[in-house]
Amino acid sequence: MVTTTAIVISLLEPSIDFFGQVSLKEFLFGTAWAPTFTPPEFGVLPIVLATMVTSFWGLLVAIPLGLGAAIYLSEYASPRARKTIKPTLEVLAGVPTVAIGFFALFFMRPVLEDLLPFLPWSGPQAAGVAGLAVGLMIVPIIASLSEDAMSAVPTGLREAAYGLGATKMRVATRVVLPAALSGIVASIVLATSRAVGETMIVLLAAGASPNLTVGFTESVQTMTAFIGQTATGDIATGTVTYYTIFAVGLLLFLMTLILNMISIRLVRRFHEAYD
């Protein structure tokens, strides 16, 4: 409880100082982000867009892979296969993100360039590659939580569907999937919140140039990468740049807070339905 209050205060107070010097309108609707330049620009749109782009690529990979793995584990896998694969996924969910960032920068990036040579590759960093790596990070979250939701669907529902002559695939897609939907959506929302808040992967693999772009191969700076990048440099307390960290942090906190609340609400609803 104290922590939340402290987070809110620690974010709010410097943010108020920040908005004393930069107008809210300039912050939210400006299209250029260059807080350390002279003259500084404080339009947050480029880094918000960058966060959305990397999260989008991440979800694009992670939703089908995670759901596929979850359906397999819950409906098709033998108890023995499930007993080994699910813990493996859970162990892999603990891979530190700095390792995933390294993998994205030095393995995925060159491999993808060989596979897709027609894309306009430039510098070592690319928004799309970072996004795919973020996807790799959140696959275990979606797979594990969705599998929990699907396993919680009562066997009676499945048996009833088989009794009506449904095929296995139809039972999985038309009965189990809809019945577990709120749990599945909750897992995806939680994974989105993780993707938005992920720092190390995007810091290493997406770069540090705040471009307003949606390109796959372009280097971008996300909100988290900006905070990480700026904080590692030496910045004096009390400067506008110092306060910028908090303003961006506040926006990030609000975005993930909304996502987390949706996820918690959905999980609660799904608990009520079948317990």
Partner 1 sequence: MAALGPQAERTRLAAAGARSVTRAAILSGQPLKDVIKGRIFYALLLLALGLALLGLAALILDAVIDGRSMLSLDLLTNSASRISPETAGYANAIYGTILLIGGVLVMTVPIGIGSAIYLEEYADRTKWWNRVVELNIQNLAAVPSIVYGILGLAFIVRGPLDLGFILFAGSITLSLLVLPTVIIAAREAIRAVPPSIREGSFALGATRWQTVRRQVLPAAIPGIATGVILAVSRAAGETAPLLLVGAATFVTFDPTVFGDNGYTALPVMIFNNAKQAQPEFHVLAAAGIVVMLAVILLMNSFAIWLRNRYEQRW
Cβ distance to partner 1 smaller for residue 173 or 213 = 173
Near partner 1 in 126-155, by CB under 8 A: 136, 139-140, 143
Under DSSP, the state recorded for 31 is S
Binding flag, residue 110, partner 1 (CB under 8 A): no
Residue 37: CB minimum distance to partner 1, A: 22
150, 67 Cβ separation under 8 angstroms: no
Residue 102: CB minimum distance to partner 1, A: 5
Q: Which residues contact 138 (CB under 8 A, 6 or more apart)?
A: 58, 59, 62, 66, 191, 194, 195
Binding flag, residue 244, partner 1 (CB under 8 A): no
Binding flag, residue 4, partner 1 (CB under 8 A): yes
Near partner 1 in 175-234, by CB under 8 A: 190, 193-194, 196-200, 203-204, 224, 227-228, 231-232
Largest Cα–Cα distance of the chain, in whole Å? Answer: 72
Cβ distance to partner 1 smaller for residue 29 or 238 = 238
Size of the site for partner 1 (CB under 8 A): 78
Cβ distance to partner 1 smaller for residue 61 or 181 = 61
In angstroms, the CA 108 to CA 114 distance is 10
In angstroms, the CA 121 to CA 109 distance is 10
Q: Which long-range contacts (CB under 8 A, 24 or more apart) does 102-105 make?
A: 102/204, 103/133, 104/129, 104/130, 104/132, 104/133, 104/201, 104/204, 104/205, 105/129, 105/204, 105/205
Residue 46: CB minimum distance to partner 1, A: 18
Near partner 1 in 43-82, by CB under 8 A: 64-69, 71-73, 76
